[in-house]
Amino acid sequence: PGSCQTLCECLETAQAVRCVNRNLTAVPPDLPPYVRDLLITGTPLARLPAGAFPAQRLPELRALNLSGNHLRAVEAGALAALPALRQLDLSGNPLVSLSPQAFGEGGSPLEELALRGALRDHGVLLSLAAVLQSGALRNLSRLELADNGLLLLPAGMFAALPALRQLDLSNNSLVGLRNVSFQALGQLQSLDLSGNSLGVLRNATLAQFRSLPALRRIRLGRNTWVCDCAIEDLLAWLKESDQVEGKEALTCAYPDKMLGKALLKINSSDLDCSVPTDLPSQLQTSYVFLGIVLALIGAIFLLVLYLNRKGIKKWMHNIRDACRDHMEGYHYRYEINADPRLTNLSSNSDV
């Protein structure tokens, strides 16, 4: 159509439409029905409303690239009516709103989702987690979440992605994976954790990696590994596992004396274990030991009281008699002081 040629570049032979650096504020309404590959980038496009891509007009659309726009909101139903959609790229958009119903109620055939640099807003991350957990994207095989400055991931975020094969979490600021479960990712083949702020991987996480039969490529480069006693499990796993790509290049970032030392060349004697690394468990053990000691002391004290019950009883009687005699003396003195006649008699006696 003539309007397609005006707003975009339409390539019928390649079944592609490219709208690059155009002044578009909405998706062109008269895209050709043959399009399988649609690229819209460099535009002031700010929102995707419901029905932005009507299925009856785009029945063959498989790859939708909306990267590098000014997209801030993806509303409910915006991507629901695309029965052939397999690839979606929303990278480089300043998203602040992503509706949990953006892909509709019945799920989507989407297989690849790229959100590089599009999740800077924490609320959008939580919305994405809700979308993934709802099962709307169960067919997803590739998920790209790189360059988003992520510190932590919502718990259970990947629990409903059984077909996922590639997960890219690189170039974020992840400090730990304690609340992240990979157990449901039985088909996962590639996991990119490079360029984060990981200091150690705990045994529970390493056990998950070992349990994934298809996982054969893990990238851990450019992280801030802390080489103290807490890293022993990670070192043992690195030396025995063939899952980590480029593990020979992994080096320590802390402490200063270990800076730049290759992880695979570290021995137990190189680690400073003078300070307990797992303080909570150490405190828990100390409290249990203290409780046992106090219970033992209490039992011994009760046993001593029981064995000396007769002597204690006699001692208590003596104390009682002494206190009674002492109180009778005070009572007698009070009676003398209270009676003037006895007081004079007492005074004359004293003289």
User: For the segment 258-279, what is each residue's pLDDT rounded down to a tens digit?
Assistant: 999 999 999 888 886 655 545 5
pLDDT the model gives residue 306: 77
Average pLDDT over residues 229-258: 94
Domains of the chain: 9-226 (3.80.10.10)
The predicted pLDDT at position 304 comes to: 78
Does pLDDT of 347 surpass 60?
no
Helix axes 340-350, 309-338, angle to 10 degrees: 100
Q: What is the pLDDT of residue 322?
A: 76
CB atoms within 10 A of CB 305: 10
Give the residue-averaged pLDDT of 154-182.
95
Mean predicted lDDT score pLDDT of the chain:
88
Confidence of residue 78 (pLDDT cuts 50, 70, 90): very high
In the chain, % of residues over pLDDT 70: 87
The pLDDT, as a whole number, for residue 152 is 94
Q: Tell me the helix, strand and coil percentages in the chain, rounded to 5.
A: 35, 15, 50
pLDDT one-digit tens code per residue, 322-336: 787 777 676 666 666
